[in-house]
Structures are given as structure tokens and as C-alpha cells.
Amino acid sequence: MRRFSPATLGAAVALVAIASTAAIALSPSWHAWMERLPAAQRVELQQRQARWQALTPVERAVYGQRQLRWQSLPLEERRVQREHWQSWRALPEPERVQLRRTAAQFAALPAAERERLRAEFDALDGRVRHGWLLGPALGAEYPRLQPLLAFVVDDERAQLLDALRTMTPAERNDLATLAQRTPPEARDALRRELLSTSSAQRSEWLRQRLDQ
């Protein structure tokens, strides 16, 4: 009988679990459950299923090993990595391209320079570091926009980020100035007013608010 090392046995168990999930996906109950999902989630799951079925056995084995490494991480580390991945997916593609280019440039630096830059980043205030998850454009402006982004429910936050990314740098600068002037108890109203203003009218709205 063939003997498995603990790591190999764990990989085999993970692969069986993944294969079982794929088999369930072919059952009538799976399709009925899928039909009850919101359209966006249903499409995402169908795309994941298609990607899984397109993998070779070797690729599925590699995926199983990745799953094992993921499950071995502490919960907090998984939370951080999941947040980083979700933030990456939310970025516009031009900003992803910019970040890939920046990452390549960073990787090409001497080790001592990379360590120095990483230490500088680690020394920043935690809220400022977290703000860079919004990407190179909003991350640079996050310290000034933070009063507007704090304590926002998820649905409204997504709308707010979409609006901010469609604004010009000058508009975001005016909005940051306005956010700094606005007392905490009035910021919810400011966000709602911003989101209800069309992009064509946003510059004029900002000028009027700043002149008040």
C-alpha cells in the first residue's frame, strides 16, 4: 500500500473536498440554489466553476496546495489578505496596470533600498497605510478625504468610491477641503448631497459649497 506523508495526505483530502464541491455543482439542487442567488453572485460562481473545470489535474493539485497554505494561516492574516484581494479587485484596470509597473520597479531596487522604503511605509499611521488600499489616486488623497470616508456603510461606500474615482484631481481637492470644514455631525448629509449631484454639476456644486 502506498504511504502518504502528512502534507501529501492533506493535499489529497483538500482535492477530494474540492472535487466533491465540483460534483455537487452538477446536481439539480445546486442549480436550484444558484437560481435563487442575485445575478452578480450567480455569474461570479458560474465563472469560478468554469475556471475550475478548465484546469488540468496538475493545476488542480497546485490549487489544492494553495488552499492548504491558506487554511494554515492565522485568521487575522487571512482577513488582511482577503481585504487586500478585494481592494485589488475593486481598482480600475488603469490603476492595476500602474501598480504592477510600480511593483516591478520596487522589486528591481537593491535590497537595502527596498527595506528602507518598507520601513518608511510601516512607520506611517495605520489609517494612512490602510488608505493606500484605495489605489494610487485615492490613496495619496486619503488623509484629507478620510473624514468623508469614515463610518460609511458598505453600499454607500462603494457608491462614494465610484464617485471619487470619476472626479478630477481638482474636484477631489475641493471636496477634501470641504470635508475638512464640515463638522462630523454634518458629514452624512454632505455624502448624500455629493452622491445625488450629477458628475456634470459636481464642480459647480463644490464651488457653491466652498463659497458658503
**pLDDT band per the 50, 70, 90 thresholds, residue 34:** low
Question: CA angle at residue 81 from 86 to 150, to 5 degrees?
Answer: 60
Q: Is residue 3 in a domain?
A: no
Q: Is residue 25 in a domain?
A: no
pTM as predicted: 0.64
- What's the rounded mean pLDDT across residues 8-31? 44
pLDDT at 32 > cutoff 70: no
Q: What is the pLDDT of residues 122-180, one digit of tens each?
A: 888 888 888 888 888 888 888 899 988 888 887 788 899 999 999 999 999 999 999 99
Q: Is residue 160 in a domain?
A: yes
Q: Could you identify the residue written with the cell 493545476?
A: 59
**Higher pLDDT among residues 13 and 86, named by residue:** 86
Q: Quote the mean pLDDT of the chain.
A: 79
Contact 172, 164 (CB under 8 A): yes
Domain extent, residue 159, equals 124-212
pLDDT at 37: 67
- What's the rounded mean pLDDT across residues 186-208? 92
Q: Is residue 187 in a domain?
A: yes
Q: Is residue 176 in a domain?
A: yes
Number of domains in the chain: 1
Residue 98 burial class via C-beta count within 10 angstroms: exposed 0-12, middle 13-18, buried 19 and up: middle
Q: Is residue 173 in a domain?
A: yes
Q: Is residue 210 in a domain?
A: yes
Q: What is the pLDDT of residues 81-131, one digit of tens each?
A: 888 888 888 888 888 888 888 888 888 889 998 888 888 888 888 888 888
**Higher pLDDT among residues 39 and 210, named by residue:** 210
How many percent of the chain have pLDDT more than 90? Answer: 23
Q: Is residue 184 in a domain?
A: yes
